[in-house]
Chain A
Amino acid sequence: MSSKEQSLFQPALVSEAVKQAFVKLDPRVMFRNPVMFTVEIGTVVMLLVTLGLLVRPDAAQGSFGYNFTVFLVLFLTLLFANFAEAIAEARGKAQAESLRKTREETPARVIDEKGNVSSVSSSQLQKGQVFLVEAGEIIPTDGEIIEGLATIDESAITGESAPVIREAGGDKSSVTGGTKVLSDRIKVVVTTAPGESFLDKMIALVEGASRQKTPNEIALTILLAGFTLVFVIVCVTLQPFAEYSNTPIAISAFIALFVCLIPTTIGGLLSAIGIAGMDRALRANVITKSGKAVETAGDIDVLLLDKTGTITIGNRKATHFWPAPGVDERQFIEFATLSSLTDETPEGKSIVELAREKQVSPEVLQPRLQGAELIKFTAETRSSGVTLTDGVRIRKGASDAIRQLANRANQPFPQETTQRVEAIASNGGTPLVVSENDRVLGVVELQDIIKPGIQERFARLRNMGIKTVMVTGDNPLTARFIAEKAGVDDFIAEAKPEDKMTYIRREQQEGKLVAMMGDGTNDAPALAQADVGVAMNSGTQAAKEAGNMVDLDNDPTKLIEVVEIGKQLLMTRGTLTTFSIANDVAKYFAIVPALFMVAIPSLRALNIMGLHSPQSAILSAVIFNAIIIPALVPLALRGVAYKPIGASALLRRNLLVYGLGGVLVPFIGIKLIDLLVGLFV
Chain B
Amino acid sequence: MTNELLGIGSMYLLTLVLALPLGAYLARVFRGEKNLLDFMRPVENGIFRVAGIDAQREMSWQQHMLALLTINLVWFLLAMLILCTQGSLPLNPDGNPSMSPDLAFNTAISFLVNCNLQHYSGESGLSYLSQIVVITFLQFVTAATGLAAAVVVFNALQSRTTEKLGNFYNYFVKSLTRLLLPGALLIALVLAFNGTPMTLQGKQQLITLQGDSVAVSRGPVAAMVAIKELGTNGGGFFGANSAHPLENPNYLTNAVENIALCIIPFAMVFALGFYLQRRRLAYMIFGVMTIGFMALLAPTVYYELHGNPAITSLGINQNLGALEGKEIRFGAAASAYWSITNTVISCGSINSMHDSFMPLSGMNQLLGMMTNAFYGGCGVGLLNFFAYLIIAVFIAGLMVGRTPEFLGKKIEAREMKIAVIVTLLHPLLILAGTALAAHTYAGNPTEYAGWLANPGFHGFSEMLYEFTSSSANNGSGFEGLGDNTPFWNISTGVVLLLSRYLPIIGPVAIAGLLARKKYIPESAGTLRADTATFGVMVLTVIIIVAALAFFPALALGPLAEHFGLY
Contact = CB atoms under 8 A, between A and B. Distances in A.
Interface of A: 215-216, 218-220, 222-223, 225-227, 229-231, 233-234, 236-245, 247, 257, 295, 298-299, 301, 462-467, 510-512, 566-568, 570-571, 573-575, 577-578, 581-582, 584-585, 588, 592-593, 595-596, 600, 602-606, 642, 646-648, 650-652, 654-655, 658-659
A650 to B, nearest CB: 5
Nearest to A583: B544
B413 A466 contact: no
A222 B420 CA distance: 8
A226 B424 contact: yes
B204 to A, nearest CB: 46
21 contacts: A222-B417, A222-B420, A223-B391, A226-B420, A229-B424, A230-B549, A234-B427, A241-B460, A465-B523, A465-B526, A466-B523, A573-B398, A582-B540, A588-B551, A588-B552, A596-B560, A647-B527, A648-B531, A648-B534, A651-B396, A651-B531
Given A240-B442, A243-B439, A244-B438, A651 B533 contact: yes
A648 to B, nearest CB: 5
Contacts, number: 207
A511 B524 CA distance: 15
B527 A575 contact: no
Given A216-B403, A603-B560, A652 B533 contact: yes
B309 to A, nearest CB: 14
Contact of A647 (B435, B441, B524): B524
Interface string B408-423: 1001110111001101
Contacts of A566: 401
B552 A241 contact: yes
B383 to A, nearest CB: 18
A237 B521 contact: no
B527 A648 contact: yes
Contact of B436 (A240, A298, A467, A596): A240
A245 B420 CA distance: 31
Contacts of B438: 240-241, 243-244
Interface residues of B, number: 64
A642 B401 CA distance: 8
Contacts of B556: 241-242, 244-245, 247, 596, 600
A317 to B, nearest CB: 35
Is the contact region of chain A dominated by helix, strand, or loop, or is it mixed?
helix
Contact of A230 (B399, B424, B552, B560): B424
Given A233-B432, A244-B460, A574 B397 contact: yes
Interface in B228-254: none
A221 to B, nearest CB: 9
B540 A659 contact: yes
B412 A215 contact: yes
B75 to A, nearest CB: 32
B534 to A, nearest CB: 7
A566 B525 CA distance: 13
A648 B528 contact: yes
A604 B435 CA distance: 24
Given A571-B399, A575-B399, A650-B401, 19 more contacts: A219-B415, A223-B391, A226-B420, A226-B421, A241-B552, A241-B553, A243-B438, A298-B402, A465-B523, A512-B521, A567-B402, A574-B396, A574-B397, A581-B395, A588-B551, A603-B559, A605-B563, A648-B533, A651-B400
Contact of A234 (B401, B411, B423, B431): B431
A223 B540 contact: no
B161 to A, nearest CB: 8
A230 B545 contact: yes
Interface string B543-566: 011001101110110011001100
A584 B400 contact: no
B411 A219 contact: yes
A99 to B, nearest CB: 28
